Amino acid sequence: MRKINIFLLGGTKDSTNIISHIKDNYDSYILTTTTTEYGAKLASERGSDETIARPLPKDEIISILNANEFDIIIDATHPFASHITQTSVSVANELKMPYIRFERPTTNLKNIDTSRIHYVNSFDDAGKLIESEFDKGNILHFAGANTMEDILKYVSSERFYPRILKVESSLEKCRQLNVDPDHIIEMTGAATKEENLDLIEKYDASVMITKESGEIGGVIEKIEAANEKDIAVIMIQRPKIEMLNKNDVVNDLNELDSKIKSFLKK
């Protein structure tokens, strides 16, 4: 099998798993793009040959792809990073390049008590819901630094406790939004149910905000902790990406292998 050159849009646990899998199973060169130095560090540790640690505009992605002989674009960005997925689909179409969207499955809640979950379509809607229905107790924000502003338009920062990566870009957002440094909860990965229980109790939380980010994002552990402590969960549903062809989407590494091998045969 010939060597394969992959342009990987990463920054997720899915993407680091993909790097390890491809390096173990293919003769490959991988360039991984992430939005943070932390994400790039993790990608390098898993075996990515090269990393770019900043957001890339569409024209720069096109320039990189035109200047190098990449075989496949793999988009393994977060399910809520809809803008970059739209951009990557557009780039692949323009350059007529093979494209794979690796999308973690939605969370299976079949055997989970979902009675405390309030589904909304945006963080703005989440903020409005908290303002109108959850005006007592504190708010645990388990949805990343980039989504805090929409919540804080409607609720006081005195009640707001975000769990974020302690990287400079996230800390700067907290400063801009007047989030108390003592309210910042350092994130190092998906929390266990026990860790979530501790946070709910420690910060006297009455509501938890999370994305529908799949089991790999610790959604079940959040819901189970909220159920045990009898607090509400506001869950932002995944955005729908109209440009995305469902035939380009894979949900696991076996499906990814099938797609890669089909491209290599052409």
pLDDT in tens, 151-180: 999 999 999 999 998 888 889 999 999 999
Q: Which of 238, 224, 160, 148 is nearest to 191 (CA)?
A: 224
Which residue reads 């994002």 in tokens?
A: 217
189: three-class secondary structure by DSSP:
coil
Q: What is the pLDDT of residues 114-157, one digit of tens each?
A: 999 999 999 999 999 999 999 889 999 999 898 999 999 999 99
Instruction: State CA 190 to chain mean position distance.
Output: 11
Instruction: Indicate if the pLDDT at residue 188 is higher than 80.
Output: no
Dihedral sign, CA of 59, 62, 64, 67?
negative
CATH class of 117-236: alpha beta
Q: Work out whether strand 117-120 and strand 232-236 pair parallel, antiparallel, or are unpaired.
A: parallel
Q: Which of 92, 173, 88, 28 is nearest to 19 (CA)?
A: 28
Cα(237)–Cα(248) distance, integer angstroms: 21
Res 216: pLDDT: 67
**CATH architecture classification, 4-105+241-265:** 3-Layer(aba) Sandwich (3.40)
Whole-model pTM above 0.85? no
Question: Which residues of the chain form beta strands (DSSP E)?
Answer: 4-9, 28-34, 50-53, 72-75, 99-102, 117-120, 138-142, 160-164, 185-186, 205-211, 232-236, 249-250
Tokens of 169: 């870009």
Res 243: pLDDT: 80
Examine domains 4-105+241-265 and 117-236 and report if their fold is the same. Answer: yes
Res 266: pLDDT: 67
Give 80's pLDDT tier (boundaries 50, 70, 90): confident
Kindly list the domain boundaries of the chain, sorted by start residue.
4-105+241-265, 117-236
Instruction: Indicate if the pLDDT at residue 49 is higher than 70.
Output: yes
